Amino acid sequence: MNKDFEKQVMQARLDLAERQIDKLINRLRSLDGRTIDIELHLIKSTITGKPNKWIEF
Please report, rounded to a whole number, the percentage of residues in the chain having pLDDT higher than 90.
11
Tell me what the mean pLDDT of segment 23-52 comes to: 79
User: What is the tens place of the pLDDT at every residue in 9-23?
Assistant: 989 988 988 888 878
Helices (H), the chain: 2-27, 33-48
* Domain ranges across the chain: 2-48
Please state the separation of Cα 1 from the chain's center in Å: 26
CA–CA distance, 4 with 39 (Å, rounded to integer)? 30
Provide the whole-model pTM.
0.57
CB count within 10 Å of CB 43 equals 19
End-to-end CA distance of the chain: give it in Å, rounded.
Answer: 27
Contact status, residue 57 vs residue 51, Cβ threshold 8 Å: yes
